[in-house]
């Protein structure tokens, strides 16, 4: 039985345009790099600034919306959970990664340099957006290239069954 709370709340700006790929089952997986900067005063009274870069991942419908509306510089609210992964790199060395699996996002004031659209992205991950075999993704991301017809890099990372929520 599930036990525990694993919740992350971020407000930050994208360091780059989002990267959207598709699983073999047609599910969108969008990744962004999100900066949050904090300050503190050290003992000498100097201001110290530190930026964390969060790797945030959006799945399914939320991945489509994030890919469509977010742009480099966009300010966004993200809610999700932390996921730690361990894998073996191509060099045979064990590596670790940490991702924030988003289940809610909301665009904030600034539009970044994407501009154009006008409409505002927002979505709360519901319960029933598991990939229903070939979503109508043609309509879903007017400004993204068509998803690759067959396999792609994410195929190694995520089977459709791997949706982490």
Give me the residues that bind DNA (CB under 7 A), please.
1, 3-4, 12-16, 33, 35, 37, 51, 53, 72-73, 75, 110, 112-113, 118-120
Q: How far is the CB of 66 from DNA (least distance, A)?
A: 15
CB burial of residue 77 (10 Å; 0-12, 13-18, 19+): middle
CA–CA separation, 100 vs 62, rounded Å? 14
* Partner touching 72 among a copy of itself, DNA, none, CB below 5 to 8 Å by kind: DNA
Residues of the shown chain interacting with a copy of itself in the complex, contacts defined by CB under 8 A: 1-13, 35-40, 42-43, 49-50, 52-54, 75, 77, 79, 81-84, 93, 95-98, 106, 108-111, 120, 122, 126-130, 160-161, 163-165
Q: Which of 91, 145 has the CB closer to a copy of itself? A: 91
* Partner touching 15 among DNA, a copy of itself, none, CB below 5 to 8 Å by kind: DNA
Cα–Cα nearest to 64, from 2, 139, 118: 139
88 contacts: CB under 8 Å, gap ≥ 6? 94, 95
Q: Which of 134, 145 has the CB closer to a copy of itself? A: 134
Distances (CA, A) of 21 to 25, 29, 30, 56, 80: 11, 5, 6, 14, 20
* Partner touching 9 among DNA, a copy of itself, none, CB below 5 to 8 Å by kind: a copy of itself
Dihedral sign for Cα atoms in the order 154, 62, 54, 83: negative
């Amino acid at each position: 039985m599930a036990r525990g709370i694993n919740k992350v709340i971020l407000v930050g700006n994208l360091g780059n345009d989002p990267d959207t790929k598709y699983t073999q089952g047609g599910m969108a997986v969008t990744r962004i790099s999100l900066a949050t900067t904090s300050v503190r005063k050290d003992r000498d009274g100097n201001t110290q600034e530190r930026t964390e870069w969060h790797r945030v991942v959006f799945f399914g419908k939320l991945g489509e919306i994030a890919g469509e509306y977010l742009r480099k510089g966009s300010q966004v609210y993200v809610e999700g959970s932390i996921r730690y992964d361990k894998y073996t790199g191509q060099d045979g060395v064990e590596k670790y990664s940490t991702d924030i699996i988003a289940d809610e996002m909301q665009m904030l004031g600034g539009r970044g340099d994407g501009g154009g659209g006008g409409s505002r992205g927002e979505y709360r991950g519901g319960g029933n957006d598991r990939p229903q075999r070939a979503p109508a993704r043609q309509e879903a991301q007017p400004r993204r290239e068509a998803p690759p017809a067959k396999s792609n890099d994410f195929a190694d990372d995520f089977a459709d069954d791997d949706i982490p929520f």
